[in-house]
Amino acid sequence: QLDLSRIRRNYKIGMPKRIDRGKPTGSLAYGLVKKYEIVGKDYSGNDQLQIKYVWDEQKANIVKRIIDDYLSGKGTWSISLNLNLEGIPSSQGKKWSRTAILVVIKNPIYGGLIRYGWKPVKNGKRKIQPRENWMIRKAEFPGIITKDKYESIQKEISRRKTIGGRASNSGGLLIGLIKCGYCGYSMFQINTKSVFKNGRKYVYKGYACGTFLQRGACQHNSKKQDYINGVILK
């Protein structure tokens, strides 16, 4: 118990100092890589190593794409669906979800900032604190977007919360309201375009079960948007 108390005390004392030096805490953000570089020799002739944080160029471009898509008006569901269709894995090597997209666009590290104390443990549970309670410092490494662009993302997130999430950027009026009859999960808008052999274009707009689209569970019980709208109007 004394050892645990000492570890907790050292963590509380040392972590703010680490933040002041601009070093990241906890697990690294998506795209951030820790490398070691030789900075000299010690008295025994062994190499002295220094930790350096750099961005993985390929993953950094994916983050930029996510941010640009979000600011252009796309929702988190649409962004995650497109990434999954292209076979781009998330930070955990799994499919992208709406939560994973929000984790990326809310993280100030992409704007060259380090945060601490934003999600402390209280009564055995982690709870996100108001932003004014965070400890934010400039990172020792450059961000992949500007600080102003990061702030514009946070304003857009707040704006969408006040006007209704996915429905604010969707042509489907029932997004967030219509539920799957099998699992009870929300149904999302799907748009499919194809061209038949005779050259005729086919466009399908409708609603489909989010559990099926996101995790492959439940059933693909899609319904045309015009049909659903007609049922509601009648």
Kindly tell me if the per-residue pLDDT of 145 is higher than 90: yes
Question: What proportion of the chain, given as a percentage, has pLDDT over 70?
Answer: 94
Alpha carbons 234 and 222: distance in angstroms, whole number = 20
For the chain, give the percent of residues with pLDDT over 90: 28
The pLDDT of residue 53 is 92
pLDDT-derived band at 162, boundaries 50, 70, 90:
low
Q: What is the pLDDT of residues 3-28, one digit of tens each?
A: 888 877 877 777 888 888 888 887 89
Q: Is the pLDDT of residue 36 over 60?
A: yes
50: confidence class by pLDDT, cuts 50, 70, 90: confident
Q: Which residues of 120-158 are buried (b: 16+ CB within 10 A; e: fewer)?
A: eeeeeeeeeeeeeebeebebebebbbeeebbeebeeeee
The pLDDT assigned to 101 comes to: 93
Confidence of residue 112 (pLDDT cuts 50, 70, 90): very high
CB-based contact 25:114 (threshold 8 Å): yes
Evaluate if residue 176 carries a pLDDT over 80. Answer: no
Residue 141, SS3 per DSSP:
coil
As a whole number, the mean pLDDT across the chain is 84
Of 48, 52, 73, nearest to 171 (Cα)? Answer: 73
Please report which confidence band the pLDDT of residue 107 belongs to, taking 50, 70 and 90 as the band edges. Answer: very high
Distance CA 179, CA 221 (A): 11
